[in-house]
Amino acid sequence: MWTIIKFDKKNLDLLKKDLRNKLNSDIIFYTPQLLIEKFKNNKIRKKKYNLLGDYIFCFHKSFKKSDTIQTLKFARGLKYFLGGCMESQKEIANFITKCKNAENKDGYLSHNFFELELNSTYKFSSGPFTNMIFKIIDLQKNKINILLGNIKTTIGKDYLFTRV
């Protein structure tokens, strides 16, 4: 069963180690991550972001029992277990599947994860157009036709951008 854990960012490794020791080694952790490339001071800087902040998905078959969660309540690095996970297993599994399908070869989420809208305004977060605002004209399988100022151009879906 999947559960969602809020963790202390400084002690994530301690938490994982503690849970592995208490539950055996067949525990699965999943954290969807983004890799943002920003152009700053004439250098490209890469930074990893957890999509869920300080939450992590955790799977183990013994989470079905509520007493298991009660015994793990005081693990090092754990803030709390998010309630309501028992009733939301299908939604959690669908979200994790969607994240894994949208990952690139390095394990980071690509733009296939985000649902883009036509005629919406976005701002580049990476690439040569960093911090420039554009409008999506047309969406294709691997390309996006955009309007950058008054210039129409085509970009690949590998750029990162945020909605304005």
Residue 158's pLDDT band (cuts 50, 70, 90)? low
The pLDDT score that the predictor gives to residue 111 is 61
- Cα–Cα distance for residue pair 48/34, rounded to 1 Å: 6
Task: Name which of 106, 101, 114 is nearest 144 in CA terms.
Answer: 114
Whether residue 129 is predicted with pLDDT greater than 80 in this model: the reply is no
Distance from C-alpha of 126 to C-alpha of 48, rounded to nearest angstrom: 13
Select, from the ranges 2-11, 63-72, 107-116, 154-163, the one with the highest average predicted confidence (pLDDT): 2-11
pLDDT, tens digit, 9 for 90 and up, residues 65-118: 888 888 888 888 899 988 888 888 888 888 888 888 888 888 888 766 666 778
Alpha helices of 24-110 — where are they, by DSSP H?
Answer: 66-71, 89-101
